[in-house]
A and B are shown apart, each in its own frame.
Chain A
Amino acid sequence: AQSVTQPDIHITVSEGASLELRCNYSYGATPYLFWYVQSPGQGLQLLLKYFSGDTLVQGIKGFEAEFKRSQSSFNLRKPSVHWSDAAEYFCAVGGSGGSYIPTFGRGTSLIVHP
């Protein structure tokens, strides 16, 4: 069965600093990987997704993620964090058994200090 681990429950960064959120997945074949963001009182918004091809994926809001098969990882990065990036971030994996229904990680809460 597919699964996702986000090892960091909370991450605190200063505004303007770089960011990396970790995501590790467990999956037998080539996974379909996603990063979503959830702001307070709002639903999830897709930041980026990886299905195949170039392992460095560009998303919205200046985010990017890199798929590393050897490490079973799909870490999310941003070179310079803005206060508005404070939110909950979810990594998800799909594709097991032909189903694209995502299995979500537990999320990482990003806190941005001014």
Chain B
Amino acid sequence: KAGVTQTPRYLIKTRGQQVTLSCSPISGHRSVSWYQQTPGQGLQFLFEYFSETQRNKGNFPGRFSGRQFSNSRSEMNVSTLELGDSALYLCASSFGLILRDNEQFFGPGTRLTVL
């Protein structure tokens, strides 16, 4: 069974640009969550999508958005990039919503560098 895949693995952008990251969940998983990992702030929850609807959202500005498609694949978009957006963006999938009995499986991440 293939794991969670994220593309691209590495990305370099400049300030002010926008970027789209992609995540393909494990087959059969319907929930996709996104996390930002930085040395300064650690691992922080961005949002969770289930059945094409955002179900939970972390404390991030509106520049961060996402969507989920009918096949459960998800994309995350960051507009007007800032230097502080440089981070490892992790995607996680689970069978259902993030609940106590639904384990999240993480992808390898997309390393975004903003110059």
Contact = CB atoms under 8 A, between A and B. Distances in A.
Nearest to A36: B106
B33 to A, nearest CB: 8
Contacts of B44: 104
A13 B104 CA distance: 29
Interface of A: 32, 36, 41-46, 49, 51, 90, 92, 94-95, 99-107
17 contacts: A41-B108, A43-B92, A43-B108, A43-B109, A44-B92, A44-B106, A45-B106, A49-B103, A95-B100, A99-B98, A100-B98, A100-B99, A101-B58, A101-B98, A102-B98, A105-B42, A107-B42
A58 B45 CA distance: 26
Interface residues of B, number: 21
Contacts of A94: 98, 100
Given A44-B106, A90-B43, A107-B42, A101 B48 contact: yes
B43 A104 contact: yes
A32 B100 CA distance: 8
Nearest to A95: B100
Interface string B42-54: 1111001000000
